[in-house]
Amino acid sequence: MSASLLAIRNLRASYGKIEALKGVDLEIKSGEIVALIGANGAGKSTLMMSIFGRPRASSGHIVYDGHDITQVPTHQIARLKIAQSPEGRRIFPRMSVAENLQMGADAGDTTEAERAGTLERVFALFPRLKERIDQRGGTLSGGEQQMLAIGRALMSRPRLLLLDEPSLGLAPLIARQIFDAIRTLNRQDGLTVLIVEQNANHALKLAHRGYVLVNGLVTLSGTGAELLQRPEIRAAYLEGGRH
């Protein structure tokens, strides 16, 4: 592991009068997979979105690759080699698989050769997308749409990939394929990943380190293995099923 790629310091963010993040501290080193777990409403998705400036942080700092990006406009953040696969996938349903992937490529400064190489990488990870290349995104299964959302994010050739609930609503076998692809991207390509995931068991087994978010604050952190062994984690997120 190397230097910090993303450092979040005392971050606060609100939706109207509701403060969703109340002073979050979080760090991701280059080459890590970091999991963020917590109950619904804990602020996990808000933290993800605040990295892109939606909502804009009310105080605190977001430092990416040594540069403070707290007030950088969203469209410029996408050019900094940060990509997001959002909760709910948010693919373009009327566009084909190919057109959706092209939209991802357009978000980054990439050459034609880089785009072609990245497209082949996406197809190697998710062969189903190659089979469905001309199909409209809205006609894909839920698992295929999740593959497309991740593939679209990868087309910008990010250094940091933000994944928000990638296994939500998926059958266990498809979810496992998604997690396997994330592990492959990290191990083979060195991709740094921040993953928000309700399936704490899967997320912490996948991650090098994890953070637990409760009511807008980080309450625990440690390696994935350490957090899996903590009784309060097991009681809250594992033994009772998904929360």
Give 153-197 pLDDT, tens digit per residue. Answer: 999 999 999 999 999 888 899 999 999 999 999 999 999 999 998
As a whole number, mean pLDDT of residues 234-241 equals 70
Spell out the alpha helix ranges (H) of the chain.
Answer: 44-51, 74-77, 97-106, 112-125, 127-131, 142-154, 172-189, 200-206, 224-229, 231-233
As a whole number, mean pLDDT of residues 130-145 equals 94
Check pLDDT > 60 for residue 204: yes
Domains and CATH numbers, the chain: 1-81+162-243 (3.40.50.300), 83-158 (no CATH)
C-alpha span between 193 and 153 (Å, rounded): 12
Q: pLDDT band for position 243 (50/70/90)? A: very low
* Torsion sign (Cα): 72, 74, 79, 83: positive
Q: What percentage of the chain exceeds 90 in pLDDT?
A: 70
Mean pLDDT of all residues in the chain? Answer: 91
Closest to 212 in 3D by CA, of 38, 29, 39: 38
C-alpha span between 85 and 166 (Å, rounded): 8
* Torsion sign (Cα): 118, 119, 123, 128: positive
Give 36-80 pLDDT, tens digit per residue. Answer: 999 888 999 999 999 988 889 999 999 999 999 999 998 888 889
